[in-house]
Structure 1
Amino acid sequence: MTTPLTLENIQQAPKALLHDHLDGGLRPATVVELADQFGYDGLPTTDVTELATFFRTAAHSGSLVRYLEPFAHTVGVMQTAEALHRVALECVEDLAADSVVYAEVRFAPELHIDGGMSLDAVVEAVLAGFADGEKAAAAEGKTITVRCLVTAMRHAARSREIAELAIRFRDVGVVGFDIAGAEAGYPPTRHLDAFEYMRNNNARFTIHAGEAFGLPSIQEAIAFCGADRLGHGVRIVDDIEVHSDDDATLGRLASILRDKRIPLELCPSSNVQTGAVASIAEHPFALLARLRFRVTVNTDNRLMSDTTMSQEMLRLVEAFGYGWSDLERFTINAMKSSFIPFRERLTLIDEVIKPRFAVLIG
């Protein structure tokens, strides 16, 4: 007998998460406590409930630039090794509580050196937090693997340095590289040196593209930079013509994206908040999934979007009528697209994801 698709039941399903920002997923209470502990006095309020509301409403702006503004407060309290370790550990605990079995969590080390830490020390603190979070989750009976993506800010000039950081830590928890930040005016081709460095070292990377900016951003990320995945990539829908009979014609960029199986790290709630799409019901996720693009479900920023993987999946279920087999497909899509070795991906798919979904599907 098939298990009903409720939030509580979806919370029991195994999940794979590829696009989650460490500084966008703090617990509101932790922000308040760290601000008090380390003397950060910039918070708009120290009331935990009011602060949670502030992050949610400030982020729901209809603009990527305005959406990013509240991050000044989370980054502001993450300037010591102790704070970074705590945030990373709690991140793993929260994901494990939502039955996430694999996650790649990203953050920009260059944003966390105002307190005098080196880039290496920043990464070491986060990786230690992830490792301790995995142990804490295991003690609660939850198995989760968390790996790190180091991100360079696209408006800055440290991308090569951050790419080198990714390679230095590649065997101890960092599995890839990313660029993020406001897209308009900061094309990915400004960072070709970093991407070339990653390719020369046989390393993987994803690029935020096609969220606030359109097809040119995706074109550059794929054709010039050689991205393995696209962060968001939602505007690829602009290269797809849907006909009255529900058939569709793909443009050359959309075709190559699908033909090469380049994964899309789609973040439904966040895409609505930033104005990339008007609503969940109008999100091109359903069209892209129907056309067999490699779509994945992601949270982006759990604090800002007041969301979890289970809530993102439920919103898709409610909007598009998906069943357990669809959620399984999206989860396997994500696991196939992860940056860990093939055998590790296959083990999680065959020994964790498929068996647990089989129970839910009935």
Structure 2
Amino acid sequence: MISEAFIKDLPKTDLHIHLDGSLRIPSLIEMARERKVELPSYDEEGLRELVFKDGYNDLNEYLHGFKYTCGILHDPESLERCAYELAWDNIQEGVRYMEVRFAPMLHVNANLTLEEVLVAVDKGMRRAKREFNDKLLHNNSSEPPFEYGLITCAMRFFTGGFSPYYQKISEAHQYMPQRALYGLASLELARAVVSIRDKTDLPIVGFDLAGAEYGYPAEDHEEAFDFVHKHFMKKTVHAGEAYGPESIFQAITKLHADRIGHGYHLLNEEYIKDPSIEDRAAYIRSLCQYIAESRLTIEVCLSSNMDTDPNLTSVADHPFRQMKELKLSTTICTDNRLISHTTVTRELKLAVDHFGLSNRDLKSIIIYGFKRSFFPRDYRQKRIYVRRIIDYYKEIEKKHEVDVAPVNDY
């Protein structure tokens, strides 16, 4: 029996977590009051009843909460505070490496530049890292230090109402075809984050494509991803969340994806729309074979998928089961801690309870998170860090009297 206490003590990763979907409700309320941002309720119980619910009817209802979280993240202080608190929320449940992602252009305004957005988020994460790691040194602990990276998200689709930046770019290019405009904004972000990464010590480790998937194909953003690819930046792409295998195929072939965010509909033949694909089963088999052979990791978010797909009535029916049977590389993530009322510990416990994971399975999934991370330093340092994680994992196994499981490479 794998207990929740054991999972909580284990060193873990979260490679798919959105800053604006993972705030603390008391902090949201306090900052909204300070910034005169209107909320439907100013107490935690009211917000949980009206906005951040135990369950959602559809994706639109799920996304409604971002209206309020993004509404306060428009100054360095709020961004730093939320990043700092998010880092500590993860540290306190045993997460030792995380890659926090956000769309910086949603926070740019007349008083806040893109670089200032990135600096503010990094400042919060860095402060939490310093505090925790200094404590480890002081106590001469064998526990691995906390590390993190930043992932910047381009948007598949936007309107001028998304943010002041998107309003300006929409007004400046009124006669440009919409899909071309989306690609232009992504390319501008790509050029900016590569430049900022190269001239600063900010740990910008990845480039992502997020937002409405169906009807907004990855190929619109091909030039942006070509640019970051040629500048040695890793890529993760939201794909297969609201669309199917073809979206994942595009993420790999058009955007050079190193990891896939969600991949929920990877195995769903009904989501294949291209009439030229006559043998859908064969198409999916070939796609899965390619993903398996290349060890391209899928960032699985169980609770989030439960929240956004009304047809998924039990975690046990999530395609994660088939992904494991196919030996695909997977890591378990939260997506949005606030919106989905979850933690990494909870997500892993859901996987253990509903898919019958053994200690060996659990260990493989967790260690893969560290191995497939976009670690911000030298590869040799990454190997040393992962080795330290594995050694500490064994300590926790012994502490909880759990059989020491070997680590699989495949």
User: Aligned AA for 2:17?
Assistant: D
- What TM-score, normalized to structure 1? 0.91
- Whole-Å Cα distance in 2 between the matches of residues 336 and 89 of structure 1? 25
1:197 Cα deviation (Å)?
Answer: 0.5
Q: Kindly tell me: are residues 10 and 198 of structure 1, through their superposed partners in 2, closer, same or farther at Cα, counting changes over 3 Å? A: same
Aligned match of 1:291 in 326, 338, 351? 326
**8 Å CA contact retained: 1:80, 1:115:** no
- Whole-Å Cα distance in 2 between the matches of residues 99 and 53 of structure 1? 29
Q: Is residue 160 from structure 1 mapped to residue 192 from structure 2 by the alignment? A: no
- Whole-Å Cα distance in 2 between the matches of residues 140 and 52 of structure 1? 34
Match of 2:26 in 1: 29
Q: Kindly tell me: are residues 114 and 277 of structure 1, through their superposed partners in 2, closer, same or farther at Cα, counting changes over 3 Å? A: farther
Match of 1:245 in 2: none
- Whole-Å Cα distance in 1 between the matches of residues 353 and 285 of structure 2? 30
- Whole-Å Cα distance in 1 between the matches of residues 394 and 192 of structure 2? 37
**8 Å CA contact retained: 1:338, 1:345:** no
Match of 2:231 in 1: 201
Match of 2:170 in 1: none
1:8 Cα deviation (Å)?
Answer: 2.0
1:315 Cα deviation (Å)?
Answer: 0.7
**8 Å CA contact retained: 2:11, 2:392:** no
Identity in percent:
34
Aligned match of 2:132 in 129, 137, 145? 137
User: Aligned AA for 2:366?
Assistant: T
**8 Å CA contact retained: 2:119, 2:202:** no
Match of 1:353 in 2: 390
- What TM-score, normalized to structure 2? 0.81
Aligned length: 350
User: Aligned AA for 1:166?
Assistant: V
212-221 or 341-350: which moved more?
A: 341-350
Q: Kindly tell me: are residues 89 and 261 of structure 1, through their superposed partners in 2, closer, same or farther at Cα, counting changes over 3 Å? A: same
User: Aligned AA for 1:252?
Assistant: S
Aligned match of 1:102 in 78, 97, 115? 97
1:107 Cα deviation (Å)?
Answer: 0.4
Match of 1:121 in 2: 116
User: Aligned AA for 1:288?
Assistant: M
Match of 1:251 in 2: 285
Q: Is residue 69 from structure 1 mapped to residue 64 from structure 2 by the alignment? A: yes
Match of 1:238 in 2: 268
- Whole-Å Cα distance in 1 between the matches of residues 206 and 246 of structure 2? 23
What SS class does the counterpart of residue 234 from structure 1 fall into? coil
Match of 1:262 in 2: 296
Match of 2:53 in 1: 57
1:116 Cα deviation (Å)?
Answer: 2.6
Q: Kindly tell me: are residues 65 and 347 of structure 1, through their superposed partners in 2, closer, same or farther at Cα, counting changes over 3 Å? A: farther
1:79 Cα deviation (Å)?
Answer: 0.6
Q: Is residue 309 from structure 1 mapped to residue 311 from structure 2 by the alignment? A: no
Q: Kindly tell me: are residues 330 and 354 of structure 1, through their superposed partners in 2, closer, same or farther at Cα, counting changes over 3 Å? A: farther
Q: Is residue 336 from structure 1 mapped to residue 371 from structure 2 by the alignment? A: yes
- Whole-Å Cα distance in 1 between the matches of residues 114 and 76 of structure 2? 11
- Whole-Å Cα distance in 1 between the matches of residues 391 and 59 of structure 2? 36
1:53 Cα deviation (Å)?
Answer: 4.2
- Whole-Å Cα distance in 2 between the matches of residues 125 and 280 of structure 1? 36
What SS class does the counterpart of residue 264 from structure 1 fall into? strand
Q: Is residue 325 from structure 1 mapped to residue 321 from structure 2 by the alignment? A: no
180-189 or 346-355: which moved more?
A: 346-355
- Whole-Å Cα distance in 2 between the matches of residues 192 and 147 of structure 1? 23
1:235 Cα deviation (Å)?
Answer: 1.2
Q: Kindly tell me: are residues 262 and 62 of structure 1, through their superposed partners in 2, closer, same or farther at Cα, counting changes over 3 Å? A: farther
**8 Å CA contact retained: 1:14, 1:357:** no
179-188 or 98-107: which moved more?
A: 179-188
User: Aligned AA for 1:180?
Assistant: A
User: Aligned AA for 2:298?
Assistant: L
Q: Kindly tell me: are residues 129 and 224 of structure 1, through their superposed partners in 2, closer, same or farther at Cα, counting changes over 3 Å? A: same
Q: Kindly tell me: are residues 330 and 183 of structure 1, through their superposed partners in 2, closer, same or farther at Cα, counting changes over 3 Å? A: same
1:115 Cα deviation (Å)?
Answer: 5.7
Moved over 6 A (4+): none
Superposed CA deviations along residues 5-27 of structure 1, whole A, max 9, x for unmatched, are 22222110110111000001100
User: Aligned AA for 2:384?
Assistant: T
Match of 1:151 in 2: 153
1:153 Cα deviation (Å)?
Answer: 1.4
What SS class does the counterpart of residue 112 from structure 2 fall into? coil
1:254 Cα deviation (Å)?
Answer: 1.5
Q: Kindly tell me: are residues 152 and 75 of structure 1, through their superposed partners in 2, closer, same or farther at Cα, counting changes over 3 Å? A: same
- Whole-Å Cα distance in 2 between the matches of residues 160 and 136 of structure 1? 36
User: Aligned AA for 1:86?
Assistant: R
- Whole-Å Cα distance in 2 between the matches of residues 303 and 268 of structure 1? 14
If you compute each CA radius of gyration, which structure gives the higher value, 1 or 2? 2
1:187 Cα deviation (Å)?
Answer: 1.1
- Whole-Å Cα distance in 2 between the matches of residues 356 and 251 of structure 1? 34
What SS class does the counterpart of residue 146 from structure 1 fall into? strand
Q: Kindly tell me: are residues 88 and 45 of structure 1, through their superposed partners in 2, closer, same or farther at Cα, counting changes over 3 Å? A: same
- Whole-Å Cα distance in 1 between the matches of residues 10 and 396 of structure 2? 9
- Whole-Å Cα distance in 1 between the matches of residues 56 and 146 of structure 2? 33
Q: Kindly tell me: are residues 273 and 225 of structure 1, through their superposed partners in 2, closer, same or farther at Cα, counting changes over 3 Å? A: same
What SS class does the counterpart of residue 346 from structure 2 fall into? helix
- Whole-Å Cα distance in 2 between the matches of residues 9 and 284 of structure 1? 25
